[in-house]
Structure 1
Amino acid sequence: MARGTTLVKLLDDLRAALGLSLNPAHNNQVRDRQVKALQKTQEWLWDDFTWPHLRVWRNYPLQAGQYLYDIHNDFDIDRIERIEVMNAGLWNPVLPGIDPGHLRAHNTELGERAWPVRRWRIAENEQVEVWPIPDQNAEPATLEGTLKVTGIRRLRPLVADSDRCDLDDDVIVNYAANKLEPESQKGKIALNIANRRLARLKGHLTPRREFRMFGIGRAEPVRRLFVGQYRPPGA
């Protein structure tokens, strides 16, 4: 029950879950299928949930006149969570979406520049486009003019025996076992184990909302009028 397990160990665990021989020589003909099942299972799990430990951020120095920026190969552009820009010593949010109204204010096609950048969108060739076009270069010493992109990184390769998984090995192995033998008793047992383990993991990693019975916070006491001196009617 851990992350960072090597592929060769995942294969051993998968074969054990299915009651197969642990001798690699006895699995030569099916090894590629077993590896593919492990790879596809981890990819499905990666896409199914926002795993906090895979959240990363990357800095990109803005350049005057440049509005398209390449994203690092290990960063998934479709799972960007937020973008910020350092302006006047503070990280300010850059909002998603560039519409015609923005371009009327500062037309990117005409090369119109301004500061700071305030919007972004995904452009062709897996690039991030910012608006307006920055009119100054970033300052590395202070990070002024730096674009910070936060999101979920891609999975590391799981091809060589020494490659390590990014997600929980128990979940990967048992779902993969069910994928390979969905109708067998061992495959069904593996599915139950994987479902329970995944539900437990998600429960631990999902922020809990605070619940208070009978409303939120302490109820305000009934306010009573204070009478300083009693005066009978007609007095």
Structure 2
Amino acid sequence: MKMCAVALVLSLLAAAVWLGLTMTTPESSGGGTNPGGGGNPGGGEGDKECVPTLLPKADLGLCGNLEVFYMELGNISCKIIPKCNLYRQKITAWPQPIVKFPTAMDGAQYLLVMVDPDAPSRRDPRMKYWRHWVVSNIKAADIKAGNIRGNVITDYQPPTPPPTTGLHRYQFFVYLQGDRVISIPTKENRNRGAWKLQKFLQDHKLQNHETSTQFMTEHDGELTPPDY
């Protein structure tokens, strides 16, 4: 009788295990979508997620605690803009990003600079640093909140890398301005290319940047690149 009871219990356990396996779904076994990844709303490349990827190790040196947010993409600090969902086309038309420096010093005043050191290409950077954006007199409270307002010295220009020039780095630097008056001569400000960034910093006695970051993107689709 005892042997029969043991056999019955073992049979019930085996049935329970079999039932549990048949009820396991792809999501519960890790085969579903990543709850934090955002999926692939554009349908792009199969089941791959359409999200920016991290920069190569060689380009992580500028990665500080500066955050750069573009619509649809979120924070793209130290990342490569993906080709899917037409992001590389869209970024050429989007307005200026939200730039946040969370650890800005209360009461301080900052200068923001955005440049492309790879103009017209990384192999031939004869027009470095292409000046994309310069804003001075930014209050700490504003840059902490991502509200870049102050004295706009050079209007924001979106990334527009030319065709067949590969990935371009778009670099952001934040300097502690103090009570300095920052300006760029009108004639120099008309031409964005071949900007002498180091001379500009020396002329205004600006020390090393407080923080920095960069992202990369390249030409994809129809757009009008700047006249290099």
State the structure with more CA Rg. 1
What is the TM-score normalised by the length of structure 2? 0.24
Tell me: higher relative CO, structure 1 or 2? Use CA pairs within 8 A at least 6 residues apart.
1
What is the TM-score normalised by the length of structure 1? 0.24
